[in-house]
Amino acid sequence: MQSLQEIYDNHNGRLLNKWNHYIAIYDQYFSKYRNKEFVFLEIGIAHGGSLQMWREYFGPQATIIGVDVNPECKKFEEGNTKIYIGSQEDENFLNQLKSLLPKVDVLLDDGGHTMKQQITTFNILFDQVKENGLYACEDLHTSYWFEYGGGYKKKTSFIEFSKTFIDYIHGWHATKKEKPKMFNKITESVAGIHFYDSILILEKKKMQPPIVSFKGKEQLDYHFEQYGQKKKFTKRLKQWLKLQQ
Ligand SMILES: C[S@@+](CC[C@H](N)C(=O)[O-])C[C@H]1O[C@@H](n2cnc3c(N)ncnc32)[C@H](O)[C@@H]1O
């Protein structure tokens, strides 16, 4: 079986364009779906080359769904490859798409890459990804490019938007006061957030409140020193548990 890198390097079909370093990252996360029945959705079809690459990589059992604003892309529909035409920044279109689509295992946003497009798509289609599925967005560097609505530390960029996910997965540990800001569906449904140069991958999983446990026997009559005070571990634990209530 060829690796994604080999498939990409040997590709001689319809035009395909990915930054070279994306290939190994995709292989790392997507290889578990090869030759299985599953649903892959890519926003952004262009010349249809990536649809060909994914088909070769995933095999005939995969349902591959492409979405693009360009109506000409409809011609790439064949067999188990379905095409939907519409704009990823149009909430009505995305909601309609949602009602037509099955839940997807993997969603890859390689569409127009503006901040509005990436954020709107995430807000509406994140729920369309199955538990244990992956939500991926590529070309995050547009978050630093003015023409796409980005800019370094610009509050409305997709990068700044997605950085808040880091706070959300820690929502379990928020103080009472911060909980409403930190605890949300991302806390309960995302196991991991992986940032690479220009790629974000979210691993969905039904999360449970984290449990802390202890193994073995205490060896000291105190556990650690904090602010010059020797603290009993058990005492510290009780304080921590109280904070959680
Ligand atoms: C980077 S290309 C996709 C490349 C393709 N995935 C590949 O790897 O070869 C971006 C595509 O996004 C589409 N696009 C741009 N704006 C869009 C929008 N608002 N909604 C959906 N697709 C859009 C463009 O028509 C174009 O085909």
**CB of 186 closer than 6 angstroms to any ligand 1 atom:** no
Q: Ligand 1, residues 65, 88, 107, 142: which to mutate, most atoms within 8 A of Cβ?
A: 88
Residue 58 confidence (pLDDT) above 60: yes
Q: How far apart are CA 93 and CA 20, in angstroms?
A: 32
Picking from 202, 235, 231, 2, the residue whose alpha carbon sits closest to that of residue 106 is: 202
Confidence class for position 9, pLDDT limits 50, 70, 90: very high
Confidence class for position 167, pLDDT limits 50, 70, 90: very high
Q: Ligand 1, residues 50, 69, 73, 89: which to mutate, most atoms within 8 A of Cβ?
A: 69
Confidence class for position 238, pLDDT limits 50, 70, 90: low
Average pLDDT over residues 204-211: 96
**CB of 16 closer than 6 angstroms to any ligand 1 atom:** yes
Tokens of 190: 């995302």
Q: Whose CA is nearest to atom 17 of ligand 1?
A: 112
Residue given tokens 């938007």 in the structure block: 161
Residue 160 confidence (pLDDT) above 60: yes
Q: How far is the CA of 112 from the centre of ligand 1 (A)?
A: 5
Q: Given 3-state DSSP classes, what are the helix, strand and coil percentages for the chain, each rounded to the nearest 5?
A: 40, 20, 35
Tokens of 39: 């649903």
Tokens of 170: 């820690």
Average pLDDT over residues 125-134: 98
Average pLDDT over residues 33-61: 98
| Region of residue 113 (left: phi > 0; alpha: psi -120 to 50; beta: else) | left
Q: How far is the CA of 97 from the centre of ligand 1 (A)?
A: 16
Least confident of 117-126, 165-174, 234-243: 234-243
Residue ranges of the chain assigned to CATH 3.40.50.150: 4-204
Provide the CATH topology of domain 4-204: Rossmann fold (3.40.50)
